[in-house]
Amino acid sequence: MTPKEAANKKVLIANGQGFWGDSILGPVRLVNEGPLDYLTLDYLAEVTMSIMQKLKTRRPEMGYATDFVKLIDRVLPQLVEKNIKVVANAGGVNPHACKDAVMEIISKHGYSGIKVAVVEGDDILEGLDDLMSKGEEFKNMDTGAPLSTVRDSVTSANVYLGAFPIAEALDQGAQIVITGRGTDPGLVIGPLIHEFGWTKEDYDKIAAGTVAGHIVECGAQCTGGNYTDWREVPDMARIGYPIIEASDDGTFVVTKHEKTGGLVTIPSVAHQLAYEMGDPANYITPDGIADFTSFSMEEEGPNRVRVSGVKGAPPTPTYKVSMSYHDGWKALGQLTVSGPDALAKAQLCAKIVWQRLALDGYEYTPEERMVEFVGANVCHDGIAIPGAQEPSEVVLRMGVKGPDRAKVDRFGPELVPLVTSGPPGVTGFAGGRPKATEIIGYWPALLRKDLVKTHVTVFTS
Amino acid sequence: MPQVPLSSIAFARSGDKGEGSNIGIIARSEQAYVFLKQTLTPDVVRSHMSSINPGGVKRYTADNMRVLNFLLADSLGGGGSASLKTDAQGKTHGLGLLRLELKVPQEIIDSISGGPGKV
């Protein structure tokens, strides 16, 4: 590639999945409705890893995002025809099982020669005791407590890997890259490193990729989804998922396919830039630090926002580790209370439940119990609502939590009896008795990078 | 000076951040941003959201995006899967803050000439 060709080269990267459970229509439409070079898919939230670990314990062939395999089954012909590459953190805690399932789909469709890569090294659960015996304390980043205080309850432990292993997989010719835990923006930065040959010292460019990745990581949240002025958003049913049109110099345009719904404007992009933001000047990833106060944005055309001037700094010597641990039990249930006097009756219902449980010897502290009257300003509790009226009906939502499973489970059976032994107009008890479910605690920590080994394996179908 | 809800001069996006939430307030014009940087202090936000957030409030600014970013330390009832709240992820906290009534100079209101959707 000549320098001029490199300067003119544009790479199109879309994100079709903001979380495990996002609509399959996002990625299906992205591969069908316009040009695309890369499709990224983000399936992993913090608690997802713990849930996957549990699934894997029960069935060794599980523990990854099964939605991903269904998606590949549905769009594989288009991916092959248009040569669209896929980068997904669908591997969860079992990336090889995910890869095996994808390979099966590929052969079912009659294709061969497609390369599928697995990025590993993020899962440190098995090596945790070894690392602790070598002096790693895994202090909780929020509380400062050492991991030893909850070690016996830990159910998953994963490092947020960076983008370079993804780039390595693409360098080796992979069309589908499956990872476990990594940073969300890394799914976008990896293809950029591969396409433009960026190095680890290209701090500003890596930071630009980080900003781009952050903008698209929640799918339609930058194209008019969850947008303050929702009445201004056209055709939300057919909302376009976001596409990054990236250049070698680190500038990029946020856009979406033509004739899709939603909007891409400076405010729509700024909404997402502000999402899950901490200190905007220090957005830390394993590949570098991005300064979200450094760049400028410009609306260069309809549904086209150009971002330029992103500044970055060298990475820290540590990886962030995301661990989950068993943190007790909770039970939640709800009933609907109609008017007249819906709120007063719902308040009485709640009082009755706590009183009856106390009669049986079960008392819950204010921290262990919760009551909400949905319809009577639960979400904006304490904030004045001009012109607010008494609700004509409310949903009584109650819950308890604590370390004692039996005590948590005792709560559920006292909710439904309100229908016949409480005030009139209580209904909506479908769903049965609330039962105790596990609380999965989140334990963020840091780990020296030299203690983590990542590796990339490429398989050919 | 007219009294208007914050929503008439700003957008918002919120979500979970550990055991608390963050609210990004995006001013609808440069003049509105300068005004809000002066008036929308952590104390104002803390007092408005005190029932939801018994914890502290910290503010960051990003002039390039006209964003005031507020971190609410304890707004999720324990956070993550430990929360019993309906809004365990703070998704609605931004709209709650946009309900704040502010005395805003007329010229700031007039500065939002492009209507909604233009910064």
Q: Which residue of B has its CA nearest to A310?
A: B64
Please, where are the H alpha helices in A83-217? 95-108, 128-133, 164-171, 186-196, 203-216
What is residue A49's predicted lDDT score, i.e. its pLDDT? 87
Q: Say which amino acid occupies A199.
A: T
A-to-B residue pairs, Cβ atoms closer than 8 angstroms: 159
CA atoms of A360 and A348, how far apart (whole Å):
19
pLDDT at B118 exceeding the cut of 60 = no
Dump pLDDT digits (tens) for A312-367: 999 999 999 999 999 999 999 999 999 999 999 999 999 999 999 999 999 999 99
Pairing of strands A318-338, A304-308: unpaired
CATH of the domain at A405: 3.30.70
Pairing of strands A311-313, A296-301: unpaired
Domain enclosing residue A385, as ranges: 327-443
Residue A107 lies in a domain: yes
Q: Does B106 contact A at CB distance below 8 Å? A: no
H or E element, residue A371: strand A369-374
Residue A239 lies in a domain: yes
What is residue B114's predicted lDDT score, i.e. its pLDDT? 56
B48: helix, coil or strand?
helix
What is residue B78's predicted lDDT score, i.e. its pLDDT? 87
What is residue A6's predicted lDDT score, i.e. its pLDDT? 74
Query: Which of A:337-396 have CB within 8 Å of B?
Result: 370, 372, 374, 378-385
pTM of the predicted structure, to 2 decimals: 0.96
Residue A216 lies in a domain: yes
At residue B6 the predicted structure's pLDDT band, cuts being 50, 70 and 90, is very high
Residue A346 lies in a domain: yes
Chain A residues with beta carbon closer than 8 angstroms to that of B100:
383
pLDDT at B115 exceeding the cut of 70 = no
Residue A135 lies in a domain: no
Residue A30 lies in a domain: yes
Same domain, A269 and A406: no
What is residue A50's predicted lDDT score, i.e. its pLDDT? 84
Q: Where are the domains of chain B?
A: 3-77+89-110
B80: helix, coil or strand?
helix
Pairing of strands A252-255, A304-308: antiparallel
Same domain, A301 and A337: no
Q: By CB neighbour count within 10 A (0-12 exposed, 13-18 middle, 19+ buried), where does A81 fall?
A: exposed
Same domain, A98 and A191: yes
CA atoms of B9 and A366, how far apart (whole Å):
38
Decide: A24 and A70 in contact? Cβ < 8 Å. Answer: yes
Successive 10-residue mean pLDDT values, chain A, 461 residues = 80 95 95 97 87 90 96 98 98 97 98 97 96 96 95 95 98 98 97 98 98 97 98 98 98 98 98 97 98 98 98 98 95 97 98 98 97 97 92 97 98 96 93 90 95 97 90
What is residue B80's predicted lDDT score, i.e. its pLDDT? 79
Dump pLDDT digits (tens) for A215-253: 999 999 999 999 999 999 999 999 999 999 999 999 999
Residue ending a domain, choose from A261, A292, A316? A316
Decide: B70 and B58 in contact? Cβ < 8 Å. Answer: yes
User: At which residue do the structure tokens 């201004």 appear?
Assistant: A232
Give A318's strand partners.
A448
What are the φ and ψ backbone dihedral angles of A234, each rounded to 5 degrees?
Answer: -75, 145
Give the residue among A203, A209, A172, A171 at the shortest CA–CA distance from A187: A209
Considering its fold, how many domains does chain A have in total? 2
Chain A residues with beta carbon closer than 8 angstroms to that of B25:
274
Chain B residues with beta carbon closer than 8 angstroms to that of A263:
117
What is residue B22's predicted lDDT score, i.e. its pLDDT? 98
